[in-house]
């Protein structure tokens, strides 16, 4: 969380408890926003327009996608891929190897070799530096705007300023670098075209440049931003949930410490 002071003011939490609160808040937040991630990826991989006017389009809106996924795959479909995502979110601790994850890794390795795990690496690496740079520069600019626009009494709440400016910076930087995320997803599913046949048209890409050309020619400039709306909704909710759960767990630890010290 950009610019947020992780010190729990007025609470006697240990550094370990603060670290646990941050990790658990990440775990809970990831679980809550997983459905938006699933919808975003479905939109990114759909070659047809996200419009009701396209008769071949499987998905054309967030609510329609939610209803269709529920009807066809059940509620558990919104947490597909959740286990590896949680492993990335928690950041530490013992990792239990699940059968589904082990099977997926084994199948991918046997069929395509070790390089299969690095598909989409090029757009990922390209996006890292502009995303980080945009995030910090936008955050700084938004803070100056906040100071200029907010009345004096409103400037006392530093956490609110950090939350609003951090969320705004995240939304702006995510929007500007979003096409690279779409290219990454398209390249990552290469070799699994047969599995996507039920979802609509499939394409094969030779690399990042070829993917960019095909998307531009067949889907237009708007094709670069498929799935942006659930992505931004996810980003906004993620920031809010992270702060909420972090503060909640810090307060729980504070109450536990206070009870222990009074004994």
Virtual torsion, Cα 27, 29, 34, 36, nearest 10 deg: -160
For the chain, give the number of residues: 263
CA angle, residues 19, 20, 22, in degrees to nearest 5:
65
Q: What is the pLDDT of residue 92?
A: 33
- Residue 2: pLDDT band with limits 50, 70, 90: very low
Per-residue pLDDT, averaged over 189-196, amounts to: 68
Q: What is the pLDDT of residue 213?
A: 93
Domains defined along the chain, listed by start = 119-226 (1.50.40.10)
> In this structure, how many other beta carbons lie within 10 angstroms of the beta carbon of residue 237?
14
Q: What is the pLDDT of residue 3?
A: 44
* pLDDT beyond 70 at 133: yes
* pLDDT beyond 80 at 6: no
Does the reported pTM lie above 0.85? no
Question: Which are the contacts of 100, defined by CB distance < 8 A and separation ≥ 6?
Answer: 83
> In this structure, how many other beta carbons lie within 10 angstroms of the beta carbon of residue 156?
9
Spatial contact of 186 and 211, defined as CB atoms under 8 Å apart: yes
Question: Which two tokens mark 11?
Answer: 């609470």
Question: Which are the contacts of 98, defined by CB distance < 8 A and separation ≥ 6?
Answer: 83
Spatial contact of 227 and 36, defined as CB atoms under 8 Å apart: no
Mean pLDDT for the chain overall: 77
* pLDDT beyond 70 at 150: yes
pLDDT tens digits, one per residue of 79-127: 887 666 655 544 433 233 355 556 667 776 777 777 666 666 777 777 7
Which of 77, 36, 31, 81 is CA-nearest to residue 228?
Answer: 36
User: What is the C-alpha to C-alpha distance for residues 13 and 101, in angstroms, rounded to an integer?
Assistant: 36
């Amino acid at each position: 969380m950009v610019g947020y002071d992780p010190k729990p003011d007025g609470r006697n939490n240990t550094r370990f408890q603060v670290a646990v609160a941050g990790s658990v808040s990440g775990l809970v937040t990831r679980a809550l926003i997983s459905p938006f991630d699933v919808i975003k990826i479905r939109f990114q991989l759909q070659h047809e327009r996200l419009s009701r006017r396209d008769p071949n389009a499987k998905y054309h809106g967030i609510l329609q996608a939610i209803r269709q996924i529920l009807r066809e795959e059940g509620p558990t479909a919104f947490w597909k891929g959740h286990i590896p995502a949680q492993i990335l979110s928690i950041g530490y601790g013992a990792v239990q190897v699940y059968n589904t994850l082990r099977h997926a890794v084994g199948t991918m390795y046997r069929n395509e070799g070790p390089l299969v795990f690095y598909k989409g690496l090029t757009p990922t690496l390209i996006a890292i530096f502009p995303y980080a740079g945009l995030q910090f520069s936008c955050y700084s600019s938004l803070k100056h705007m906040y100071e200029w626009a907010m009345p004096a009494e409103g400037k006392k709440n530093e956490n609110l300023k950090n939350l609003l400016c951090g969320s705004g910076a995240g939304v702006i930087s995510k929007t500007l670098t979003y096409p690279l995320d779409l290219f990454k997803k398209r390249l990552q599913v290469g070799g699994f075209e047969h599995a996507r046949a039920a979802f609509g048209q499939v394409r094969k890409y030779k690399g990042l440049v070829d993917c960019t050309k095909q998307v531009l020619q067949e889907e237009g400039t708007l094709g670069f931003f498929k799935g942006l709306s659930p992505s931004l909704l996810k980003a906004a909710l993620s920031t809010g949930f992270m702060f909420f759960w972090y503060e909640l767990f810090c307060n729980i630890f504070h109450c536990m410490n206070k009870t222990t010290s009074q004994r």
